[in-house]
Every structure is written in structure tokens, then in C-alpha cells.
Amino acid sequence: MSDLYQALGVVFGYEALLLTFLGTLAGIIIGALPGLTVNMGIALLMPLTFTFQGMGGILMLLGVYCGAIYGGSISAILINTPGTPASAATVLDGYPMALKGEAGRALGLSTASSMFGGLFSAVALVVVAPQLAKVATGLSAPDYFALGVFGISIITSVSSSSVIKGLIGGCIGLFIATIGLDPMTAGMRFTFGSYYLMGGISFVPILVGLFAFSQALLGIEENWIERRQPGGARKVTARISRLLPSWADFRRVLPTYLRSSVIGTAIGTIPGTGGDIASFISYTEAKRWSKHPEEFGHGSIEGVSAPEAGANAVAGGAMVPLMTLGIPGDGATAIMMGAFMVQGLSLGPLLFTEHPVEVNTIFIGLFLANLMMGILGFSGIRIFTRVMAVPRQILVPIILVLCAVGSYSVNNTMTDVFVMMIAGIFGYIMLKLDFSMSPIIIGIILGPMAESNLRRALTMSDGDFSIFVRSPVCATFLTIALLTLFLPIVGPRIKAWWRLRGGNTAGDPSAGV
Amino acid sequence: MLKTLGLVFCGMLALGSVSASAQEITYPKKNITVIIPKNPGGGTDTSARLTLEYAKKYLPSGVIFVPENKPAGNGVTGLIEAARARPDGQTLVMTTVELAMFPHQNKSPVTYKDFTGLFAPIADPCSIVVRADSPYKTLQEFVDAAKKQPGELQVANSGTGAIYDLATINMENQLGIKLKHIPYSDGIGPAIASLVGGHVDAVITTPGAAKPQVDAGALRILGVMDSKRFALFPDVPTFNEALGAGTNTEMRAWAAFAAPAKLPEDVRSQLDAAFKAVAADPEFQEAMKKQGIVPGDMVGDDVDAMMKQDHELYGKLIAESQKAQ
């Protein structure tokens, strides 16, 4: 117990509180700027932490971590551009809500769900960390493959307008992911002798191009049309009636919060997966279980809540393998590992017995960072939504500049800026053809995971495919994946067939799952 | 009297300034760019930034080191940029062991010949790690088991053609065994998680990467591929000690500061002296150890020699592995 009191003393010290606050604030800003990701934010602030004595620096990094995951949702909702890959799924329903004049409601819900997800995973970390650690080491290559396939199968349910266009988008994403070195044989694929392409096309420039740059091009086009026909201006109002979500809203999304938080914590625990995957899976599961699946894609309050709760729950989950095994759960925690070691904390099974005070400090710090993130978020909503009132002639150039800066900063190379622009023009054409961007993103994120684990599993089994049905985890995920993939295609036909057969119309599309 | 005192005083001052300027870097007129061809936060990046932190006090005032991460194309684009920079000491680069491997795999047009080696803050040996409850208590037992069932033991590495994979090939060649290579291209972390979970039989990695698990008694290191034991684990034998003479493999995952080739002699000697002082700095060594890195002390010609030696070693290994395919 004295460890706990000591830890409380550390976290609620004057300097530690200030550092956590500054870290969270910096994180939200980094997250909200397109192109600057969670990992980059932590890597940028990491050298600073060397100068602080004790746990202050680590608390600051926890703040950055939590703040940046949340910050991405602000630009996702307001300008249709995910600030970080983890918020790519928030765009799907966040921006439609903002267009309906509900930006405040959307931000309120996403802030509440971010905070809920973060706090949930912090509780999970404290209570069941040793059990969760088994998840991290229990999965083998076939299970990872099944998880990847399950993630990819989501494509059909996030492409509401046309399943075929969604599948085309998914294939484009999978193709982009194959460029570069073959992960298993180290052979070259589609590199055309270019050393840049050898490392694969960077993900962040593509993300920024597809979402932000294409959106800016659309803005330019709309502006041009408006100028030619005065009076046709589309005005989006963003009146804010309240900051906190209403009780009715909260009651409706609470199951979504819980489900997404569980998904996010579990995904965070698995090494090599992170917020981007968790948010998409949370989104699909929210749609699958929702009583109003038809609202998804048109401004569903569950749709805006699910990805945020899932992405923020990754934070606590990713700390599990880091602290209990010394193996980072995602890219951000991999960088944080260095900061822990500077403080003399040898991460791994011995951490809990050798450094109980520090462990408790991290636990409490994670709670505090999530609370501060919520407080900063709610108090900032009014300021954030002003973005909606900025005239397009001013907003679009700012977005274009941010796109270029963000893409350049990934690798410090102009090539990425050109990649971003090409992706942006491509995205603009896709938008005009009524394609959605999410399937492409899902393909890029999950393609490498599915591919390398498929081949790794087959290497392990000497080419024997039965390895995929021997593991119960793998078989279950593959079955769910098949259902997820084909239900949106076959489901309506079965329903129509039932109706023809004589009227059993009670069939709910989600009842079969 | 006063004159002599003054002379002595002047002499002391001069001596003092001489001893201070022994590691002083005086050539730069503007900031020195240091290209780090890896992602921020990784081992290469951390050791580079730590070294610069302790080297910056030898710079003239108003001049600083500016680290730039350029990880595009697996870092090759950063290496090319550094190799083509003017050799005036204004551009340095953190090369890694990949510089000795990539040219043989058609992945890099630049080789060690395009660089002047300066200082290698890390040179960790490869090691073979198994679960603590595995039947292989010693390296000899592992090798015997591998001989009995060729191609059955699953050994994880960090990607085909990467250093730990080549170390596995080297093991096979030297010991006449056959192992099943399981590449984990997303890094050594997932490979270690997989070993802890019992999905593979062994992992080839640096001892530092497995330290938390080894300390906790979950994993065991069977041997290190070096001519001397590893400072963090003095009880772990080298391959030579465990298997007898003739298996004297040296496989080191190093990262070294370098400048473009044809560096002027005075610039080189200034940088060498400064890095030598950093390597001997106890505070620097302490900071590196805190990161789980055994601080290296190779400076100047030693670095060049290591780069050349590894270039030839990997050239041979890669040629053999490609013949086998």
C-alpha cells in the first residue's frame, strides 16, 4: 500500500502534473495536425525526457501518447482528414455529422469515447495485465494471419455505396502494400530499380494525400463553382448547444464504448498491431451489433464513437506486453521503451517486483493522462469547431501547407511530398467516381500483416494448409471473416428470397451473425 | 621575476589550451548535419543521438550537430545522400552493418569504400536464444538435436537476408546443420514474443534484445558469436568456447559514424580525437548502458577495418545463400 501512496505523491507533484498536462496538450496538437503521427510526437519529445529527473519524463510521454491518439479525431471530424492513421475510421461518420451541423455533438461523443476507452484500458492494465500478457505470446503466425484477413474482410461493410467499388479500393490498397522488399525472401517487388521504392511507399504520405489533399482539391473546386454562381454557397453551421454528450446519446452509445474498449485493449496487447487496426475493427463490430446499421456512413453517433474508444483503448493494452514482457505492443511504445530504460527501469517480468513504485506511478499516470485528455478536449470543443467557420479560401491553403509539411517530416525527403500529391490527385478522381478511401487504407494497413503471416505459417508447417484449422483462434477468426465479407453481398439476396418464399420478413440482417 | 612568473603563467595557459584543444573540433564553420538512416527511437537512432549529446561539447561555440532521420528505402537513400556529400566534415552519417550487406544483395549502390569510418558506439554480437524450459541446456545439445533432425528446428530471425538470418546461415555452414528459418520481418520484438509463447524453437538476436526475459528466467542464451564474451552476460560462452576451436564466428550488429570518403586528414584527426574522448567518457558509457547497449570503443582505422572485414564476410555468406536457393 505504501508503494501506492508513494506513487500518488510522485504523480500529483507539482512538476509531474505540469509535465503530464504539457505532454497531453502537445499530443493533442500533434495528433490533430495531419501527417504528424503519434510515433513522431513521442520520438520528437523523447530527448526532452532525458533531462527530467525521475518519472516526470515518462508521465509526459504517456500524455503525448494518449493526447495524440485522441487529437487525430478532431481533424477527422472537422475537416474530413484523419490527423493520425488511428482516426481514419472516425472520418466515416464524424465528417457527415459535422456537415449536418452536429460538429459539437460529434466532438463531444468522440472525446467522451476516447476518454472512456483510455480509462477502460488503464483499468484493464492494472487488473488483468498478467492474464492479458498471455494474449501477447499466445498467438502464433496462423492466428495473426486470420486476424489480418478478418480485418481486411471489413472492407465490404465500410463501403456503403457500392461493394464492388469497395473491393476494388481494397485491392488497390493491397497492391500498394506489396511495393518494396518482399518480406519473406527479400526480393524486389515493383521497385523499378528505385531505392526509394525499395523500402515501400510510406504510409503517412498516402494517408494524407488520399484524405486531406483530395479534400483540399474538392474545396478548390467547390469554391470555383460558388464564385461562378453567387448565392449557391453551402454554409455549414456549427452551433454548440452543449459540450458533454446528452444522457440519451450516452445511453445509446455505452454498449459501443464497452465493446470497442475491449477490442482496443486486446488489439493493443498483441505485438505488431496498433490503433489503426483497432479503430477499423471497432467500427465494423459497432455496425454489426447496432440497431441502426443503416445510419452508418451518414453520421451515426455509434459510428463516431466506436473507432475512438477502440483506438484510445490501445494505449493501455500496448503497455501490457511492454511492462510484463519487455516487448512493445506498438510503434509508439517501442520508442517509449528507451525512456523507461534511461530511468533504470528494466522492463519485463521483474519490473513489478523490483520497481513497484514506478509501476504504480505509470498506472496512475495513465489514468491522469486520459482524464486530462478528456478535460482538455471538452474545454477545447468550442475553439476546435471554429475551424468550421473559417472561410474556404483561408482553410484550404493552410491544409495544403500542412499536408506538405507533414509528408516531408516522415522521412525528411521531398519524394514523400510528391507521393502525397499523386495520392491526393488520385484520391480526388476516386472521390469523383464515388469510391471511398477507407478500403484502400485498410488494404495498406493489413495487407503486410496478412501476407507475411500467411507465408510464415506455411513455412512453419512446410506448406501444409491444415495449420489454419488446427488452431481454434485462427479457425474462428477465419469463419467470422468469411461471414463479414459475404454477408453484405449475400445477405440482401437471402432476405429477398425469404420474402419471395412467403413473407417471413422478421429477418434482421444482423441476426445471422 | 615578474617576467618569469608571467612566462610560466603564459606557458601554463598555453599548455592548458593545448590539452583542451586535443579533442577540440575546430574545422566547422556551420552546423554539422548527421544523417541517421533509421527511424527515430530505434537502437541506431538512440545511440547516435546519445553520442552526439556527449560529443557536442567539443564543437566550437555557435555550431551544433543537426541529426536528420532519413529512413526512406530502408535507409539506403540516406546512405547515398551522405556518400555523395562533399567530404568536408560538414555531413556525417550513422552507417549500420547493413552497409556491409546491402551491396551484395543489389540493394545499395554505395559500399564501405564510399565512407570514412569514425566511431562505432555499438557492435553487439549475434546470439542464439531458447526458452529456459527447452531441452537444450547448452549450445552443443542444440547442435546435436539439429544434426539428428535436419531442417526441423525452427529458428526465428528479423527477415530474410537481414543480419540474424545470415547469422543462421553462417551457423549452418560452420556446424554442418540445417535449420528452418522463420523470418519476422516486422522486427525482432514479435520474434521474441513468439519464442516466449513457444511457437518457435530459438531466436537469433543480440543478447540485449532478450535481456528482460533472460533476467526473469524465461529465456536462455546459449552462445554469442564473437571472439570474446558479451559484457552484459559474462556467463554465456562464445561459440568457440562452447563448440571447440574452429567455430570462431564473429557476427556483430554494429552502427558506426562515418563521413564521406576522401575526408581531409586534419578533419579526420579532429573527429577521431573527439570521438575517442567521448568513448572514454564514463558518463557516456553510463548513459549507453542504461539503454541496454554495451558502449563500443572502436575509433578511426579500427572502424574502417571492421567495415571492410564484414563487407567480405557478408559477401561470401550472401553468395552462398543465393547459391543454395
Q: Is the pLDDT of residue A475 over 80?
A: yes
Query: Best mutation site among B33, B74, B108, B180 for testing chain A: the one with the most A CBs within 10 Å?
Result: B74
Instruction: Answer whether A460 sits within 8 Å of B154, measured CB to CB.
Output: yes
- pLDDT score of B158: 84
Determine contact, residues A87/A81, Cβ cutoff 8 Å: no
Interface contact A318, partner B, CB < 8 A: no
Q: Is the pLDDT of residue A178 over 50?
A: yes
What percent of chain B stands above pLDDT 70? 91
Most distant CA pair in chain B: distance in Å?
88
Does any domain span residue A20? yes
Does any domain span residue A258? yes
User: Do β-strands B91-96 and B32-36 pair in parallel, antiparallel, or remain unpaired?
Assistant: parallel
pLDDT in tens, B74-103: 788 889 999 999 999 999 999 999 999 999
pLDDT in tens, A59-115: 999 999 999 999 999 999 998 888 888 999 999 999 999 988 888 899 999 999 999
pLDDT in tens, A70-85: 999 999 999 888 888 8
Domain chopping of chain B, boundaries? 28-123+253-320, 127-250
C-alpha distance from residue A392 to each of A208, A222, A236, A371 (Å): 19, 9, 11, 34
Q: Is the pLDDT of residue A370 over 90?
A: yes
Interface contact B154, partner A, CB < 8 A: yes
- pLDDT average, residue stretch A26-48: 84
Does any domain span residue A387? yes
Q: Is the pLDDT of residue A227 over 70?
A: yes
Residue with cell 505540469: A18
Instruction: Answer whether B40 sits within 8 Å of A271, measured CB to CB.
Output: no
Determine contact, residues B151/B179, Cβ cutoff 8 Å: yes
Closest CA to B299 of B264, B263, B319, B274: B274
Does any domain span residue A497? no
- pLDDT score of B18: 43
pLDDT in tens, A373-423: 999 999 998 888 888 788 888 888 988 998 898 888 878 888 899 999 999
CATH superfamily entry for domain B28-123+253-320: Bordetella uptake gene, domain 1 (3.40.190.150)
Is residue A509 packed enough to be buried (19+ CB in 10 Å), middle (13-18) or exposed (0-12)? Answer: middle
- pLDDT average, residue stretch A361-375: 94
Q: Is the pLDDT of residue A512 over 70?
A: no
C-alpha distance from residue B29 to each of A295, B26, B64, B88, B89 (Å): 63, 8, 10, 11, 10
Distance CA A48, CA A61 (A): 10
Distance CA A66, CA A333 (A): 11
CATH superfamily entry for domain B127-250: Periplasmic binding protein-like II (3.40.190.10)
B36 CB-side CA count, 13 A: 21
Is residue A351 packed enough to be buried (19+ CB in 10 Å), middle (13-18) or exposed (0-12)? Answer: buried
Which triple of cell numbers denotes residue A422? Answer: 499523386
- pLDDT score of B186: 74
Distance CA A21, CA A122 (A): 18
Q: Which range marks the domain in which residue A293 is found?
A: 2-139+245-391
- pLDDT score of B20: 46
What percent of chain A stands above pLDDT 70? 95
Structural domains of chain A, count: 1
- A346: confidence class by pLDDT, cuts 50, 70, 90: confident
- pLDDT score of A274: 84
Determine which of A252-256, A341-345, B137-141 has the lowest per-residue pLDDT on average.
Answer: A341-345
**Average pLDDT, rounded, for chain A:** 86
Chain A CB contacts of B71 under 8 Å are 199, 411
Closest partner residue to A327 among B76, B162, B193, by Cβ? Answer: B193
- pLDDT score of A62: 93
pLDDT in tens, B208-229: 888 888 888 899 999 999 888 9
Does any domain span residue A323? yes
Q: What is the rounded radius of gyration, in angstroms, for the C-alpha atoms of chain A?
A: 23
pLDDT in tens, A279-331: 999 998 898 888 888 888 888 999 999 999 999 999 999 998 888 888 877 77
- B310: confidence class by pLDDT, cuts 50, 70, 90: very high
- pLDDT average, residue stretch B44-55: 88
Closest partner residue to A327 among B39, B189, B292, by Cβ? Answer: B189
- pLDDT average, residue stretch B171-196: 87
Interface contact B72, partner A, CB < 8 A: yes
Instruction: Answer whether B290 sits within 8 Å of A197, measured CB to CB.
Output: no
- pLDDT score of A355: 87
Query: Best mutation site among A340, A456, A471 for testing chain B: the one with the most B CBs within 10 Å?
Result: A456
Does any domain span residue A359? yes
